[in-house]
Amino acid sequence: MGDVWRGTDTVLSRTVAVKVLLPAFVADSGFGARFRAEARTLAVLRHPGVVDVFDYGETTAPGGGDIAYLVMAYVDGVPLTRRIADEGRLGPGETMDIVARAARALQAAHERGIVHRDVKPGNLLVGADGSVVLVDFGIARSPAATTLTGGGSVIGTALYMAPEQAAGRTVTPAVDVYALGVVAYTCLAGHPPFTGENPIEIALRHTHDDVPPLPDDVPPLAAAVVATAMAKQPEDRYPSAAALAAAARAAAAGAAGAACAADHAPPAGPVPALAPAPASSSPSMSRSMSNQTTAVLPAARRRSRLGRKSALAGAGAVAALGMLGLVALLGTTSKTPPAVGPAGTPTSATAPAGSLAPAGGGTGPARGSSRTPGASPTKESASQAPGTSGPTPTAPPATGAPASPPASAPPPATSAPPLVTSSPQPLSSPTPATVSVTPMAAR
């Protein structure tokens, strides 16, 4: 019915869109009245999804003839028909988002008593930011144009026409819900659901034929939105454009979640095993491959190595504590005061490691023996042969002669002096004291 041009408002210095009624329709009073009705309809609508109207005017062209024009806000977007032509098919998430935005704009019109009657991809402008703007209310039914359409007349685009609209019955907001369902089908499938050789054939198919199935990759939620919106009977469709918008938003959220899950899904098939690093003649390459192999060692193997290191460290700590205890014991025994004999001479002296011979001309307990506090000096020998009835005196060695160990003494230990334990006996006991000598190697 008109051409749309981009122009400049010289008064306010802004870019605008100017819709000019085609010269062939200017002389037709019916089209002129409908054009003015569109201007009034847009003037009462204030919604981000509906194009704003700034002015309406009629003038005479320089070459003669009348011109009617409508000045509107310029929308920086492309028609949905071009998006479908460029992409072939739109994804379910984008399609449901477009349907939700367009449905909210239709709800604003329906609340004003306005039925668009020509919802189609060509009348939906999609902006670069995803915004959707509904345009061309030229054949809209509104309080300002209630008498412009005669009874039984059919106005609209056959490809997107609801069955009751094609039959010439009274139109309601349900026809816009049906048309928006057809728009969604076209976006998802890449083509309208019904085609034919002429508008009458297409309108009859909308009235009698079942809706063809959508492609298999369309999610069930999106397919359900299309099926409900395109129900043959108006009462079987969504009760309002707002209900359609809510269902479309839910389907868009489901499609976005499914796409996100698909992007983060693990790759199908078995995970390839890591191959060992090949031998390399280059030292730098060998070090690099060795570092890579070390980086992929299993966690269990690293834990095993840490366990072995901890066990070795614990064993070393226990051994060190044992050695410290032994050194402390030997230091304590070395400070034990020697026993004094009858003549005032010590009964024992420190002998060389591994030697049990008496020194200093006397006999007495071996190194490390203990004596009872307060007892008189003992005369018992440090060694007693088994089965004897009393102590066996031992003659002191000659002056300057080296002491020799008794024949029954065990061989000296190679790593540490023998540990000597003794059990002191009281003087009144008839049984002499017995000293037990055990080499370190045998303990």
pLDDT digits (tens, 9 = 90+) for 195-231: 999 999 999 999 999 999 999 999 999 999 999 999 9
**124 lies in a domain?**
yes
Q: 79 with 134: CB under 8 angstroms?
A: no
178: which 2 tokens?
């049906």
329: which 2 tokens?
């014991």
What distances in angstroms separate CA 344 from CA 241, 339, 396, one per listed residue? 125, 9, 16
Give the whole-angstrom CA distance, residue 157 versus residue 179. Answer: 10
Which residue in the list 97, 118, 136, 176 is annotated as catalytic? 118
What is the number of structural domains in the chain? 1
Residue by residue, what is the 3-state secondary structure of the chain? CEEEEEEEECCCCEEEEEEEECHHHHCCHHHHHHHHHHHHHHHCCCCCCECCEEEEEEEECCCCCEEEEEEEECCCEEEHHHHHHHHCCCCHHHHHHHHHHHHHHHHHHHHCCCECCCCCHHHEEEECCCCEEECCCCCCECHHHCCCCCCCCCCCCHHHCCHHHHCCCCCCCHHHHHHHHHHHHHHHHCCCCCCCCCHHHHHHHHHHCCCCCCCCCCCHHHHHHHHHHCCCCHHHCCCCHHHHHHHHHHHHHHHHHHHHHHHCCCCCCCCCCCCCCCCCCCHHHHHHHHHHHHHCCCHHHHHHHHHHHHHHHHHHHHHHHHHHHHHHHHHHHHCCCCCECCCCCECCCCCCCCCCCCCCCCCCCCCCCCCCCCCCCCCCCCCCCCCCCCCCCCCCCCCCCCCCCCCCCCCCCCCCCCEEEEECCCCCCCCCCEEEEECHHHC
**115 lies in a domain?**
yes
Query: What is the model's pLDDT at position 46?
Result: 86
- Does the structure show a pLDDT above 70 at 41? yes
pLDDT digits (tens, 9 = 90+) for 253-311: 987 766 655 555 555 555 444 455 454 444 444 444 444 444 444 444 455 555 566 66
Query: What is the model's pLDDT at position 137?
Result: 79
pLDDT digits (tens, 9 = 90+) for 366-419: 444 444 444 444 444 334 444 444 444 444 444 444 444 444 555 554 444 444
Instruction: Quickly state the pLDDT bin for 58 (edges 50, 70, 90).
Output: confident
Structural domain boundaries enclosing 123: 76-259
Return mean pLDDT, the chain.
Answer: 72
Residues 140-153: what's their mean pLDDT?
A: 51
- Does the structure show a pLDDT above 60 at 152? no
- pTM for this predicted structure: 0.57
- Does the structure show a pLDDT above 90 at 233? yes
CATH code (residue 144): 1.10.510.10
Give the whole-angstrom CA distance, residue 175 versus residue 139. Answer: 13
**22 lies in a domain?**
no
Give the phi and the psi of residue 412 in degrees, each rounded to 5: -65, 150
Query: What is the model's pLDDT at position 266?
Result: 56
Query: What is the model's pLDDT at position 49?
Result: 93
Write down how long the chain is: 443
**300 lies in a domain?**
no
**133 lies in a domain?**
yes
**114 lies in a domain?**
yes
**209 catalytically annotated:** no
**336 lies in a domain?**
no
**241 lies in a domain?**
yes
Instruction: Quickly state the pLDDT bin for 439 (edges 50, 70, 90).
Output: low
